[in-house]
Amino acid sequence: MQSRLNELADRNAEYKKAIDIKHTLNTTDADGYQYGFVSAVGDKTTKKIIVTLNLYNPGESRDKQMAQAQLTDYAGNTYETYEYQFGSMDNAKPTTDRNTNFKFKFFFADVSVETKRIASLTVKAYSSTWGNSDMTFNFRDLPVEWK
């Protein structure tokens, strides 16, 4: 009986998070690039999740390169990837034009299909000026849609 109550309490917490519209799904890195969460879509067959983010460059045209992404679920499992894609360019270092949006994706493998939300997504990126050593940005409490 206690197990069932815990399961219902967990499900209730998931529903509350899903309807909480106060979550901020945008962040900025030390170079001034702005990021927005687009989606996290999982494939139940392959156990892969594709996290799509939007990058906006409000500054001068410059190169941008990602380094690594780490996803943590609410069960405490951590997944890491170095595989990302800007548009159709794999692991690229594109020039991001001023006042332009770019979509990019991170690919995570062997993710538990029980993962309904991402507790934390941390992305490490290389600085455009190479002067900023800490180029991480983070998102919290992101929904995952499994297909």
pLDDT tens column, 89-101: 776 677 788 888 8
pLDDT tens column, 81-138: 999 998 767 766 777 888 888 899 999 999 999 999 999 999 998 876 665 566 889 9
Which range of 3-7, 22-26, 83-87, 142-146 scores highest in mean pLDDT? It is 142-146
Q: What is the pLDDT of residue 134?
A: 63
Q: What is the pLDDT of residue 22?
A: 45
Question: Could you write out the DSSP letters of every residue in the chain?
Answer: -HHHHHHHHHHHHHHHHHH-TT---EEE-TT--EEEEEEEEEETTTTEEEEEEEEEE-SSSEE-EEEEEEEEETTS-EEEE--EEETTEET---EE-TTEEEEEEEEE-S--TT--EEEEEEEEEE-SSS--S--EEEEEEEE-EE-
Average confidence score pLDDT of the chain: 85
